[in-house]
Structure 1
Amino acid sequence: MQSSFARAEDLDAFLDLAERIEGTDPFRVPPLRAQEAAHLGGVDPFARYGELRAILCRDGDELVGRCAAIHNPRLPEVGQIGYFASVDEPAVLESMLALATPWLAARGARRLVGPMNGGAHRPHRLLVRGFEREPFLFEPRNPPYYPRLFESVGFRPVHRWSSYEFAPERIAALRERIRPAASRAARGHSVVPFALEDPDVLRRLHRLLDRVWAGHVGYAPLDLDEFVACYGGVLDLVPPGYLGVIANARGDDVAIGLSYEDRAAEVRALAGDVRGWGSWKGAPRARRLVLHTMAAVPQERGAGTGLLIVDHAARLLLRDGYEEVVVALVTESLPLFARFAAPTREYVLYELPLA
């Protein structure tokens, strides 16, 4: 195995390799190629302050693996291993790490984290259970052997998440159970849905982001234009009323709630072409809704704001008639949903300390 830093002319081969390795999965949703090319090519906002080096591994003349060594100076001690794709051979990852590790250590990294494509605001984590389930949009998806490859070279889990699937009647039961606590939280808080056409929506969310994601593994502050580049397209998936904030009695924004329609099939059909994004607008309502973000500032996390977000979303989705609901990527420190259902998917982020 021989690994080398990719050149500018290698970008297409780097992007194509993931499709060659992972494309046999009929559930795979190809990422948007232009968005990945901008990040890897150093022409998106991250390039103003961060560093990224793409790495390719060859077995003779055949490309067999890829990754990116990523250093975000706003997470100075973390060396990220992102954009990972590999055949089922531990020597591939070993070879790429032999190149990535000294490059990251020279920039101050004291541990490697992966897979992570630049921070918690970009794709990260590996799916470790639930491969038979039809993925929802933005769910981590990878071949089942990827976790084994990371563990074979010394990585160990640093954080876990789960996703839960609910039929409407189970959501109704959950809502009935949490309603008293949500009602108590509502005495000092209010749900403020956003008008999605308001040009200030993303700016308002960005102002709150650093506070609600404080302490989230892999999170570092990002500039407004990077936030817009990462999240602006999500608004095309959000039905009216399903994105908003929780305001306290003083009118301060203290929590975020976001749910979106699962358009995984439509995005899969784009085959990575961003020009088709939003083509589902005006189509019938999606079958499945994804409850994705329920995040509060630290001082409000024990005040019931999360329950208020869940209660609000549950009321809307029961009214609107969604057939299925996924509560997505719930951190292991939040046990609420496990009281009502067993998780159907699990995910892991890995870490490897550097000597």
Structure 2
Amino acid sequence: MRYIFEDQQRETLGNNEIVVVNDKKSFRDFYYADRIVYKDDPRWVPPLWDEIKDFFQEKNLFWSHASTKLFVAYKDNQPVGRIAAFVDTKFIESMGKPIGFFGFFECINDLSIAYSLLSAAENWLASQRMIEMIGPVNGRVDMGCGILIKGFEEEPYIYDTYTPPYYITLLETYGMKKHKDLVSYKLDVNQPIPESLKRAAKRCEENGIKIRGFNRLRANKELNWWVKLMMEAFSNHWGYIKVSEEEVKKRFGVRQIRWVVDPKLFIIAEKNKEPVAFKWVLPDYNQVFKHLDGKLGIKGYLLFLFRKNKLIDRAKFNFVGVKKEFRGQGIASYMNYYTLKELKRRGYKSAEIGWIDEENIPERKATEKLGVQLTKIYRVYEKIVTKKQ
């Protein structure tokens, strides 16, 4: 196992002790730097060590078109903050100009330390000839992006970003400006299913659209068509970067998808036995992960396998995609109808839908027809890159 940063030179930067990550010890400090930030926050769910570790391994195909520099801030020999800077050539190609990311940002409430971390990231991006930085984006948008600006009192669902209110001050004092907001909605599963969904389901059934669950026994075959459809469905979404099908398959993987997929919540709409749409809803595994302190291990696996059904009563509407030629036929509404019936059957109490780009008005309007509440707003920032002293 080799990490992407292991050839880098160890450095200590500036008046605050900011160290460049270049070995396994400093990488563990990078991972654990968030503990001091959230130590008294009962809502926070530690990220899984295995997920962070796997992302930064050299074998991750993301690094075939991206590079990074990781930094850890120390105070009294304890990690108190972290940041990563990223350059993704695929993203630069899609944008047509040299834009870098910063992500994995965590910091105690200290303007000086935050300034040092952000400066370290910005200086590295400047050395890579970037003219603008956007973030937080944790390398890829599916790894997490933005900071909370609304919804601090809400529990984070699986794959949610969760940050304290003072991060707004840390970033804006540094000179960051709004780049984009992303919104999430909360759905009360106990409310009646809207009649419009029932009508859409009836029309789709009459038109020969059938719904089935994901077949875990044929996970490799399912993954093949799903990757193609997902790449088509998300091609115009903010943050989407066109990469190889192989990279997307490796990102989700047969083993991982078998592990996390609930076959009755990952549903496929078919016409003449051919997939035309999908909806991937996840049980909110955060309700299990919050008991694991970021480590699965044997205890974690056993808890996940045998107690998840007792612990989980929430769901996350993760991905949805419809083939272009089948859009506007009510298939997304049909899948929503099917999903809500299943969540009700299980006794789930709530679901979260998002995030959704604030500018994606059609998707927001369709979501709001479900009788949801806008509960969270995440903000992604931008800044012109200038070399800091």
Is TM (by shorter chain) over 0.5?
Answer: yes
- 1:72-151 to 2 correspondence within 5 Å? 72-76=88-92, 77-151=98-172
Match of 2:366 in 1: 336
Q: Are the counterparts in 1 of residues 143 and 159 from structure 2 also a CA contact under 8 Å?
A: no
Rate the CA distance shift 1:111–1:262 in 2: closer, same or farther, 3 A. Answer: same
The residue matched to 1:7 in structure 2 has which SS?
coil
Match of 1:7 in 2: 22
- Report the alpha carbon displacement of residue 298 of structure 1 after superposing the two structures with TM: 5.5
CA distance in structure 1 between the partners assigned to 2:32 and 2:111 by the alignment: 21
The residue matched to 2:70 in structure 1 has which SS?
strand
- 1:1-355 to 2 correspondence within 5 Å? 1-2=15-16, 3-8=18-23, 9-40=25-56, 42-58=58-74, 63-76=79-92, 77-170=98-191, 172-174=192-194, 176-184=195-203, 187=207, 189-200=209-220, 201-223=222-244, 224=246, 227-230=249-252, 233=256, 235-247=258-270, 249=271, 253-275=275-297, 276-277=300-301, 279-283=303-307, 284=309, 286-297=312-323, 301-332=327-358, 333=360, 334-339=364-369, 340-354=371-385
User: Cα RMSD over matched residues?
Assistant: 2.9
Q: Are the counterparts in 1 of residues 229 and 321 from structure 2 also a CA contact under 8 Å?
A: no
Query: Partner letter of residue 195 of structure 1?
Result: N
Rate the CA distance shift 1:277–1:106 in 2: closer, same or farther, 3 A. Answer: farther
Q: Which structure 1 segments of 5+ residues have no match?
A: none
Rate the CA distance shift 1:299–1:64 in 2: closer, same or farther, 3 A. Answer: farther
The residue matched to 1:343 in structure 2 has which SS?
strand
- Report the alpha carbon displacement of residue 302 of structure 1 after superposing the two structures with TM: 4.1
The residue matched to 1:177 in structure 2 has which SS?
helix
CA distance in structure 1 between the partners assigned to 2:316 and 2:55 by the alignment: 26
Q: Are the counterparts in 2 of residues 202 and 228 from structure 1 also a CA contact under 8 Å?
A: no
CA distance in structure 1 between the partners assigned to 2:107 and 2:357 by the alignment: 27
Rate the CA distance shift 1:94–1:295 in 2: closer, same or farther, 3 A. Answer: farther
- Report the alpha carbon displacement of residue 259 of structure 1 after superposing the two structures with TM: 0.8
Query: Partner letter of residue 366 of structure 2?
Result: L
Which deviates the most, 106-115 or 125-134? 106-115
Query: Partner letter of residue 294 of structure 2?
Result: G
The residue matched to 1:24 in structure 2 has which SS?
coil
- Report the alpha carbon displacement of residue 50 of structure 1 after superposing the two structures with TM: 1.6
Query: Partner letter of residue 19 of structure 1?
Result: R
Rate the CA distance shift 1:135–1:121 in 2: closer, same or farther, 3 A. Answer: closer
- Report the alpha carbon displacement of residue 210 of structure 1 after superposing the two structures with TM: 1.8
The residue matched to 1:166 in structure 2 has which SS?
strand
List per-residue Cα deviations over 1:2-51 (Å, max 9, x = no partner): 33422214112211211122232111111111331343354533233321
CA distance in structure 1 between the partners assigned to 2:365 and 2:113 by the alignment: 37
Identity percentage of aligned residues: 21
- Report the alpha carbon displacement of residue 96 of structure 1 after superposing the two structures with TM: 2.5
- Report the alpha carbon displacement of residue 169 of structure 1 after superposing the two structures with TM: 3.6
CA distance in structure 1 between the partners assigned to 2:306 and 2:80 by the alignment: 42
- Alignment size in residue pairs: 352
Q: Are the counterparts in 2 of residues 181 and 307 from structure 1 also a CA contact under 8 Å?
A: yes
The residue matched to 2:290 in structure 1 has which SS?
helix
Rate the CA distance shift 1:79–1:230 in 2: closer, same or farther, 3 A. Answer: farther
CA distance in structure 1 between the partners assigned to 2:159 and 2:337 by the alignment: 23
- Report the alpha carbon displacement of residue 301 of structure 1 after superposing the two structures with TM: 4.9
Which deviates the most, 280-289 or 27-36? 280-289
The residue matched to 1:84 in structure 2 has which SS?
strand
Which deviates the most, 75-84 or 295-304? 295-304
Query: Partner letter of residue 220 of structure 1?
Result: I
